[in-house]
Structure formats: structure tokens, C-alpha cells
Amino acid sequence: MSLKSRAAGSVLVGAALVGAVASCGKSEAVDPAVQHALDSVLTSSEFPAGYETVDLGKDENTAISDQLADSRRDAEVTPESCKSSADVPSAADTGSAVAVNGSSTLSQSVAVSDESGVGLAAAVSGECSTVTVRLTAGPAKGTTAVITSADVQSTSIGGFDGVTFRQVTRTDDVDRSMLIGRFQVNGYLVVVQAATADGSEPDRASFDQTVKAAVSKTAKA
């Protein structure tokens, strides 16, 4: 399997399910703002040693964006109050990068958002720390998963507030683990995800390094 295929697979697995409860502000097609998001994407040399960036291409990026949008519109979430009502920024308005090292994948996205650091933490805490999602449309229609967020840490990097946590998605008695970081940086939502092809626990050190690099670059871009 090629690096590109493996990366696309790792990013797409669970994207619809997680998207149903993830929080993200609405993006507007304002050229300077979009350009800033694109300029905030990490390059290959800015990811941890051993990781190589791959170009998913327009079709793969659009597929991810469409799948996230469909999941937020066409999903039943319990508790219902944990379902995100925010729009998903289009692929054209989002800066994104994917890097692969063997079976491990790190991904980054940057998009205009007004979501607060407090809101980012609330989306995966309290009654929303464990949610059940059932997709009612799209290729994964009928899929039901239990998503549990643990080790939720509200933190600050360079004065910018956000949250890091471990998320386990159980589907058909199979668990897939992912590390996720979401930060509000000067009106942009910076998201970093770490996953592995087999769903095992991702490398924490590489994840932490990437989160810091992503937040710092968005702040300076």
C-alpha cells in the first residue's frame, strides 16, 4: 500500500463519527483569512523526525470535508446536546497536512473559527465525554459507534488556549484510539490528530511535538 493510500485511509477512518460531535466554527471565504490558514500548514521538516508529508490531492481532501459535513447533518448523537451544529469549513478554506511514518499518521488542519478554548474542552467533557453516534446517511449509513474521550487536558501553548485528549471509538467491538489536540489561535481553530493504521495507541511524544509546532506556526504565519 502506498504512503498516500495509507494516509488517506487513516484520516478517513472514523472521520464521519468524530465529526458528528467535534466542534468547529464557521469559515468565511475571505481571501486573507484563508491564505493565513494555508500558510500555517506544517512542512515535512516541521513534523517529527521520520515523518514524511503526503499530498492527499483535491479529491481526498474534498471527500474528508464532505464526509464530515454529512456526519454533522445526518447523525443521531446521544446525548443529543453533544451534537455539533457548526458548519464544516470547505476543503478550499482549510489548510491541512498529513504526515506518515510507517503505520503512524499525524494530521493537521487550520481554519477560521470563533470557538473558545472553554468550548473546545466542554465538547469532550462531562456528559459529552462518552457519546453514541449512529450515522443515518452516506456510505457508512447504519454504523453505530461509542466514542469515549479521556485524559482531557485544558492547556495553553504560547498563551493560546486549547485541549488535548485521547479518544477511543468502538465500532463492532473493535476499538480505535486517537490523540487529538484542538486550539484557538487568533481566530483560527488548529487541530492535530495522531492515529495508527491498526487503531493502536499513537506515539504521544510525536503528537505533543506536532501540536506545539502547529500552534506556534499559526500564531506566527
Amino acid identity, position 25? G
Identify the pLDDT of residue 65: 53
Those residues whose C-beta lies under 8 Å from the C-beta of residue 39, and which sit 6 or more positions away, are 95, 221
Cell 501540536 sits on residue:
211
Identify the pLDDT of residue 87: 63
Could you tell me if 152 and 121 are in contact, meaning their C-beta atoms sit under 8 angstroms apart? yes
Identify the pLDDT of residue 110: 94
Identify the pLDDT of residue 88: 66
Hey, what's the cell of 22? 467535534
Could you tell me if 111 and 37 are in contact, meaning their C-beta atoms sit under 8 angstroms apart? yes
Below-50 pLDDT ranges, the chain: 1-19, 23-30
Identify the pLDDT of residue 68: 52
Identify the pLDDT of residue 11: 46
